[in-house]
Amino acid sequence: MENMKWWQKTLVYQVYPKSFADTTGSGTGDIRGILGKLDYLESLGIGAVWLTPVYPSPMVDNGYDIADYCSLDPAYGTMEDMEELIHEAKSHGIRIVMDLVYNHSSDQHPWFQESCRSRDNEKSDWYIWRDAKPDGTPPTNWRGIFGGSAWTWCKARRQYYLHTFASQQPDLNWENPKVRRALYNAANFWLEKGVGGFRIDAITYIKKPTEFLDGKPDAADGTVSIHDMTANTEGILEFLHEFRREVFDGHDIFTVAEANGVSPEELKDWVGEDGAFDMLFEFSHMNLQFPEGEIWCKEHPWKLTALKKALSDSQRATAQNGWYPIFFENHDQPRCVNQFFPQGGDRVLAAKAMAAVLLTLRGTPFVYEGQELGMSNVAWESMDCYDDISSHGQYALALQEGFSAEDALSFVHTYSRDNARTPMQWTAEKNAGFTTGTPWLPVHGDFAICNAETEGEDPDSVLNWYRKLSAWRQGKETLLCGSYEELLPEREDLYAFSRRLGTEEVYTIVNFSLHEVELPDIIPRGAKRVFGNYAEEKAGVLRGQEAVIYVVR
């Protein structure tokens, strides 16, 4: 415990600034909006706030297309606002964590503007340029992650450039030392401003293979996902170690990298004393429907044993070396109350059950805005209502694969990133208190009951459950640094695990099914039931979605 770092003993809260709190009536959130909510965040026991990108951006991918790494988009405020946020947050015990989007920039970034002008300008090899195939088609059959070819033709250069995501997000050429230097400088700029760490975006894609070859098609149009061709390419760790040396080393900060394509077994090379980062978001527990990285319409039913195995593998992989960021939501994922429970369940029970797991596993819990209220998915009736660029790409792919418009829309309902991006629900007033203007994305219809103010007054709300669990966790060494053991791994309805330190044990049991089951005989005699998401205990059974936490000494 004495050796633990500050960020291992706290909770991180993810703010999606566009949807968090609007102080100007513009319909989009801003930095001053976050400033106004620091007391709220403190009441949740938050020690760091990860801000998704707030840099100048054409907003094709809501800020993940950056046009300048060292300033602020005017829609969010000024650099002074940002400095004030970093400073004020600190006085609430909260550090601000910036998002580094370094696999690609916006096509509006001056670097790209220059790069695409000619084949021999100063920045001509800052991006990844290739000639067309002899017949004029793109250099390979790779499909971008948002759909469509991963290559876009540039008339001025008469060449294609590569983009892992949208065509407005050209991939930077990490092989060029000048590019790496420019990126490190930008991160150091933010360190000088006093930020508490970085979340590093889409990092597994920065290293490209030496040869660019066609891959085996996985979609009807003959394309293959670029993920399968470039994720986690050999040699990537050399870049990352340099990144660490040049930026992170010697600062009292944390780094957490988004690393789709790195498995729990590989974590040891990526995190810990000799790794490149402090923590890694890997997605083995989030991508259960898409075990091979399939497109949305090729979903598979998943089993609870698969979820448990993924979580337990990550717990084990980081038991001795490295540290685990526990998360069930972010701005790219559906809401966890929908994702992890069968349809027809109770939202509040589900939200509390997921919180029980989130706050009793070993690692640093990440709470995504609204998760602490039990916010849930939306299901809008037309694609016109959806903003998310990837939802539109996946919808088109589903149609191309032969699904009806109705089916394609139902995939969007389940998986759209807009599920997580609807405005934060503060009050039962108009627009959930998010804005006095017109919100950029519609507010979820349940805001009258699911909002911070109403929940704040209800001792049994999801919000107060989070507050209580978070405060309890903070003071409990067994949860912060005790060992982890999974119990009953073969059960398809229950997730049970224990945490142990010295003579103390904490047991968490969650019934992920909607029906009542017998309480298994795994809790030692004398154990005290300290939390339960049903008001009253019912002896000998676990009701549908019931979550219970016990402590025994």
Q: What does the binding site for ligand GLC look like in residue numbers (CB under 6 A)? A: 61, 64, 101, 165, 201-202, 258, 331-332
* DSSP-assigned letters across all residues of 196-207: -EEEETTGGGSS
Residue with tokens 């049903």: 534
Q: Which is nearer to ligand GLC, 18 or 362 (CB)?
A: 18
Name the minimum Å distance from CB 332 to ligand GLC. 5
Name the minimum Å distance from CB 169 to ligand GLC. 6
Name the minimum Å distance from CB 53 to ligand GLC. 8
Rounded distance between C-alpha atoms, residue 443 and residue 431, angstroms: 6
258 carries an active-site annotation: yes
Residue 433 gets the label, from left (phi > 0), alpha (psi -120 to 50) or beta, of left
Rounded distance between C-alpha atoms, residue 44 and residue 367, angstroms: 10
- How buried is 527 (Cβ within 10 angstroms: 0-12 exposed, 13-18 middle, 19+ buried)? middle
Give me the residue whose beta carbon is nearest to ligand GLC. 64
Residue with tokens 């909510």: 37
Helix (H, G, I), strand (E, B) or coil at 142: strand
Q: Which is nearer to ligand GLC, 231 or 506 (CB)?
A: 231
Q: Which is nearer to ligand GLC, 7 or 165 (CB)?
A: 165
CB 189 within 8 A of CB 245: no
Catalytic hit among 258, 418, 455, 546 = 258
443 alpha-carbon distance from chain centroid: 21
Positions of E strands within 502-552: 504-511, 517-518, 528-532, 541-542, 547-552
Q: Which is nearer to ligand GLC, 394 or 498 (CB)?
A: 394
Write the CB contacts of 378 (distance below 8 Å, at least 6 apart in sequence). Answer: 413, 418, 419, 422, 442, 444, 445
Catalytic hit among 30, 61, 73, 201 = 201
CB 293 within 8 A of CB 287: yes
What's the CA angle centered on 148, arms 147 and 150, to 5 degrees? Answer: 100
Q: Which is nearer to ligand GLC, 203 or 373 (CB)?
A: 203
Task: Label residues 26-37 b or e (16+ Cβ within 10 Å = b).
Answer: ebbbbbbbbbeb
Q: Which is nearer to ligand GLC, 359 or 424 (CB)?
A: 424
Q: Which is nearer to ligand GLC, 101 or 297 (CB)?
A: 101
Residue 64 corresponds to which tokens in the numbers above? 């993940």
42 carries an active-site annotation: no
Rounded distance between C-alpha atoms, residue 169 and residue 58, angstroms: 11
Name the minimum Å distance from CB 231 to ligand GLC. 12
Name the minimum Å distance from CB 516 to ligand GLC. 38
Name the minimum Å distance from CB 263 to ligand GLC. 17
CB 186 within 8 A of CB 192: no
> What residues are labeled active site?
201, 258
